[in-house]
Structure 1
Amino acid sequence: MGYLQLPGLGKVHFHEYGTGNKPLLAFHGYGMTGKQFHVLEQSILPQYHIYGFDHFFHGDSKLDGWTEKQILAGMSKNMVRSYMQEWFNIYGEQRISVMAYSIGANLALILVEEYAHLIDDIILMAPDGLSVYKSLHFILHNPLGRALFSWATKSKWLAPFILKTVKKTGLIDESLYQIAYNEIDTEQKRLDTYYTLNLIRLLKPDAAAVAALINQHKIKCLLIFGRHDHLFPKSAAMPFIGMLDDAEVHEVTLGHWLVIKALDEYLAK
């Protein structure tokens, strides 16, 4: 494990694991840490040496003196470049691979925008960032949605009520509901959710540009979706998939909660 000190941003903690030699930078999903991919011990870990980064408001990563106003304004896409710049300062500029799950895919895709000429593989699981997801866009960019999100953060009853309503509409299943509920059942958890999603709200990759770069540099692309995922389904990513020349795409019999032993066993086969 180690830390990257990112100028103007903060201290990012990362975990190291895997028995392979190829460096792979990994970005986890909400509520997890950079250790999330440790479960992929048969399929991914033997091939790569993983550097799994903790998102801010997760694990041991800490913003450096940011005010609430700055957090709600969001970090810029340009700041994601500093992950690579500082990692190269420690390990030297070299070819890498990237991997991400859910909201972590936004960072991985932005690194492809900036460093495609140095990337061998990209592995995305239930990825955000390939399309506009209306519910997230509403609470992060619409003035009414942002006000509602702020209110829900401070209220003991509103966030659980909204979550139950969303489950009834079928946008999330029972397993995702339980996961989400466990992240909003205290005021501090609700605040961390609010800060996390607002901090990354501007980190939206240019999907068409990313696809063109993957094709141009012949980056090996593995995309994995849950057949029962109502949050980031394969159907929403089809325009992006259609722009790729040679992607390996899997839809497994799981929901959004993908990074589990069952996925490892599936990939190992």
Structure 2
Amino acid sequence: MKQLVISLVLASVSLAPVPQAYAAPENAAITRSATATVFYRSATIDGVKVFYREAGPANGPVVLLLHGFPTSSHMFRNLIPLLADRYRVIAPDYPGFGQSDAPDHASFAYTFGHYADMIDALMDQIGAERYAMYVMDYGAPVGYRLALKQPERVTALIIQNGNAYDEGLRDFWDPIKAYWNEGTAERREALSGLVTLDTTKFQYTDGMSDLSRISPDNWVHDQALLDRPGNKGIQLDLFYDYRTNVPLYPEFQRFFREHRPPALIVWGKNDKIFPEEGAHPYLRDLPNAEFHILDTGHFALEDKLDEMAPLINDFLDREVARR
């Protein structure tokens, strides 16, 4: 089954070009200062330590960065200082990821709904009442669940390879969907290949335009955390619970249509986990979104930070800072 998983991961995806709603600057370069101090903090939520990175002025507009699988707030380590001259940046680790506690999955509910509740509680605890959200991978359902709970709090969306449409769940998801449909021990164990070093490295390297930009520290760091005793069970629980996000897609889409948050979509077109097909449907519900398809893969910030950071800062400066 491991060979099946890897072969599905490596399957080709047909990509269709689209016009961009907002043109990216040619030869975009990082121009903001990267000298901000980043603080490494934690808060206790329902008895569980939730770690988060924080930087920027305490009274600045808040930008909440929500990470994907199998990483943590570590994925934002280079972006945070580039936003923190003007914004209060908060990047938490979900329980079971990064530096947050990882309670035994037999006694703690590793679900996307639980994560949204805990991030909601964290933001209350640290006094962040309104925020723009950067959502990626797992961060999308966590963030969109937050938006359903507290729609008035969301000032803007930055969407990077995070799905909210059926079109975005393609071949990579077939073994996971089989587990959703049957829920057997055999289907569960068949997903073990998704927490191995081969797949972790694949997520950082496949589809990248310049592999020399991708630090091997990424997959070494993430795999060390995946390999902690008990963590495999946590991740398999989350693969199974992801099925609960799909019925919420219409509600996520209704939130987009009804609240029309300013949105910036920056999507790695070569991602086989959340492929480009999942990016275009956002324009049905967010027709004014600024839309950029980049020649990169899943963890686009590792490859295209020099293009993405100016786009993000420009977007936030226009849509958030001046409000």
TM range (shorter): 0.7 to 0.9
Q: Which amino acid aligns with 1:31?
A: P
SS of the aligned residue for 1:238 comes to coil
**Structure 1 position 87 matched with structure 2 position 123:** yes
Consecutive unaligned residues in structure 1, runs of 5 or more: none
The alpha-carbon distance between structure 1 residues 109 and 76, as it changes in their structure 2 partners (threshold 3 A), is closer
User: In the superposition, relative to structure 1, how do residues 59 and 48 fare at CA in structure 2: closer, same or farther (>3 Å)?
Assistant: same
1:81: how far off?
2.4
Residues in 2 aligned to 1:41 and 1:161: alpha-carbon distance in whole angstroms = 27
The alignment's C-alpha RMSD in Å is 3.8
- TM-score, normalising length: structure 1: 0.74
Q: Report the CA distance between 1:189 and its aligned residue.
A: 5.4
| TM-score when normalising by structure 2 | 0.64
Q: Identify the match of residue 262 of structure 1 among 286, 304, 312.
A: 304
Inter-partner Cα distance in structure 1 for 2:270 and 2:290? 19
Q: Secondary structure at the match of 2:290?
A: strand
Deviation string, structure 1 residues 59-106 (Cα, Å, up to 9, x no partner): 221145x4x4456x74261552232234213316x2211112222222
Label 1:60 to 1:115 Cα distance change in 2 as closer, same or farther (>3 A). same
**Paired residue for 1:14, among 29, 41, 52?**
52
TM-fit CA distance, 1:136: 6.0
Assess if the C-alpha contact under 8 Å between 1:106 and 1:129 holds in 2: yes
Establish whether residue 100 from structure 1 lines up as the match of residue 138 from structure 2. no
**TM-superposed deviation, 1:42:** 7.7
Q: Count matched residues.
A: 254
Q: Does 1:232 align with 2:274?
A: yes
Gaps of 5+ in 2: 1-39, 312-323
Match of 2:319 in 1: none
Distance change in 2, residues 1:254/1:62 (3 Å)? same
Alignment match, 1:56: 95
Q: Which has the higher strand share?
A: 1
Shift of 1:239: 2.9
Following superposition of structure 1 onto structure 2, how do residues 111-150 of structure 1 map, counting pairs within 5 Å?
Answer: 111-131=146-166, 132-133=169-170, 134-135=173-174, 137-138=176-177, 140-143=179-182, 147-150=186-189
User: 1:192 corresponds to which residue?
Assistant: 231
Further displaced range: 79-88 or 242-251? 79-88
One-letter amino acid of the structure 2 residue matched with residue 112 of structure 1 = A
Return the alpha-carbon distance in structure 2 between the equivalents of residues 31 and 232 of structure 1.
14
Q: SS in structure 1 opposite 2:281? A: helix
CA distance, structure 2, for counterparts of residue 101 and residue 14 of structure 1: 16
1:119 deviation in Å?
Answer: 0.9
Aligned partners of 1:75 and 1:200 also within 8 Å: no
Would the aligned equivalents of 2:164 and 2:253 in 1 still touch at CA under 8 Å? Answer: no
Find the residue that maps to 2:227 and give its secondary structure: helix
* Closer, same or farther: CA 182–5 of 1 in aligned 2, 3 Å: closer
TM superposition shift of 1:262: 2.4
What percentage of aligned pairs have identical amino acids? Answer: 16
